[in-house]
């Protein structure tokens, strides 16, 4: 009887060991598969980027086989649908840079001041409800901002600037600045709150006021994060589409007068994709040339942001 019980006990122990080995083997296979899966998922963004660059580059090369590279980047006349078409991109670059510049003039000081208030002056209770309310602006669809610029901001600006055209670059620039404020404020505030309190305490111990501590200690220490927020804001403004499409008009004149109608690179892309350009035509290929230029603009902005972030980053222990 005891031998039978001993045999059954041995069999159960052996079964448990086999089951444990099987689980361990399955766990090892799972652990070996997870890095492969994560690598594939991480590679998707790279593959998508390569696909985008390849598509843009392929069609851009086709465009420059018909239009001179010098004419494209130095020409001040853009008439893609005329009998003698011209494809100078300077009017689009001017409109894009002016609109982005106006947006940054609005968003940078306001966003930085909001970030300073949230980080250095606001109580915890105020910060808890104020920051989410501010970030609601970032969730509003850009087409709503576009109609807001066209139907509300422009009529108000006309009261101050009588010669302001119905579509102009000033109004969408201001509204884009309003849209970018949450991005700059939130990122700058995160950078300033990352500064150790020991630096603030040291400044207070030396007799500095809160304003002096903010200006001479916190902002310099968070400079890399703040500058990265500014550059990302510029990149966001350069790539904005619907606001400028609705409120800035479609005039392709080369001018620096912000009260006049102008067109940006993104608005031009929307116009061309609206159906006026037959596939395979020069104007169709110009769409990709402009898109490639816009891609390079935003890429340069992001590279600058990364460079600034690494160059001026402060490490604290």
Query: Which helix H or strand E contains 79, and what residues bound it?
Result: strand 78-79
Per-residue pLDDT, 25: 60
Q: What DSSP string runs through 139-173?
A: HS-HHHHHHHIIIIIHHHHHHH-TT--SS-SHHHH
With the CA atoms of 210, 212, 214 and 220 taken in that order, what torsion angle do they form, in degrees rounded to the nearest 10?
A: -160
Q: Three-state DSSP class for 213?
A: helix
Which CATH number is 73-311 given? 1.10.3720.10
E strand map for 133-268: none
Per-residue pLDDT, 316: 53
- In sequence order, the β-bridge partners of residue 79 are 86
Per-residue pLDDT, 155: 92
Q: What DSSP string runs through 65-77?
A: TTS-HHHHHH---
259's CB contacts (< 8 A; 6+ apart) are 161, 163, 164, 165, 168, 170
pLDDT digits (tens, 9 = 90+) for 146-174: 999 999 999 999 999 888 888 899 999 99
> Rounded distance, CA 135 to CA 293, Å?
30
> Rounded distance, CA 195 to CA 66, Å?
54
pLDDT in tens, the chain (317 residues): 555 455 555 556 556 656 666 676 666 767 777 888 888 888 888 888 888 888 888 888 888 888 888 888 888 888 877 778 788 889 999 999 999 999 999 999 999 999 999 888 888 888 888 888 887 877 888 889 999 999 999 999 999 988 888 889 999 999 999 999 998 998 898 889 888 888 888 888 888 888 888 888 888 888 888 888 888 888 888 888 889 989 888 888 888 888 888 889 988 888 887 766 677 778 888 888 999 998 888 888 778 777 777 776 655 55
Q: Three-state DSSP class for 37?
A: helix
Per-residue pLDDT, 214: 87
With the CA atoms of 214, 217, 221 and 225 taken in that order, what torsion angle do they form, in degrees rounded to the nearest 10?
A: 10
Per-residue pLDDT, 156: 92
Q: How many residues does the chain have?
A: 317
Per-residue pLDDT, 170: 92
Q: What are phi and psi of 78, to 5 degrees?
A: -125, 100
Per-residue pLDDT, 132: 82
- What is the per-residue burial (b if ≥16 Cβ within 10 Å, else e) of 185-215? bbbbbbbbbebeeebbeebeeeebeeeebbe
């Amino acid at each position: 009887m005891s031998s039978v019980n001993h045999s059954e006990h041995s069999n159960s122990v052996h079964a448990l060991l086999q089951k444990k080995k099987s689980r361990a083997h399955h766990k090892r296979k799972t652990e070996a598969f997870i890095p492969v899966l994560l690598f594939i998922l991480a590679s998707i963004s790279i593959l998508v980027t390569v696909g985008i660059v390849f598509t843009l580059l392929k069609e851009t090369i086709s465009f420059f086989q018909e239009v001179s590279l010098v004419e494209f980047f130095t020409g001040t006349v853009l008439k893609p649908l005329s009998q003698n078409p011209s494809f100078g991109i300077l009017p689009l670059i001017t409109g894009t840079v002016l609109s982005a510049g106006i947006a940054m003039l609005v968003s940078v000081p306001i966003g930085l001041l909001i970030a300073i208030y949230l980080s250095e002056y606001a109580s915890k209770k105020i910060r808890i409800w104020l920051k989410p309310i501010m970030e609601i602006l970032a969730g509003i669809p850009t087409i709503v901002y576009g109609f807001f610029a066209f139907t509300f901001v422009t009529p108000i600006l006309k009261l101050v600037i009588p010669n302001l055209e119905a579509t102009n670059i000033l109004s969408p620039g201001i509204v884009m600045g309003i849209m970018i404020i949450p991005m700059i404020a939130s990122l700058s505030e995160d950078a300033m709150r990352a500064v150790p309190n020991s630096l603030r305490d040291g400044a207070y111990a030396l007799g500095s006021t809160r304003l002096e501590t903010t200006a001479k200690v916190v902002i310099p220490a968070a400079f890399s994060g703040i500058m990265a927020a500014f550059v990302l804001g510029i990149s966001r403004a350069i790539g904005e589409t619907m606001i400028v499409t609705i409120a800035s008009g479609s005039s392709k004149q080369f001018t620096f007068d912000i009260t006049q109608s102008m067109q940006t690179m993104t608005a031009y892309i929307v116009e061309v994709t609206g159906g006026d350009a037959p596939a395979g035509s020069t104007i169709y290929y110009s769409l990709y040339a402009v898109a490639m230029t816009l891609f390079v603009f935003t890429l340069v902005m992001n590279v600058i942001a990364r460079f600034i972030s690494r160059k001026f980053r402060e490490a604290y222990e």
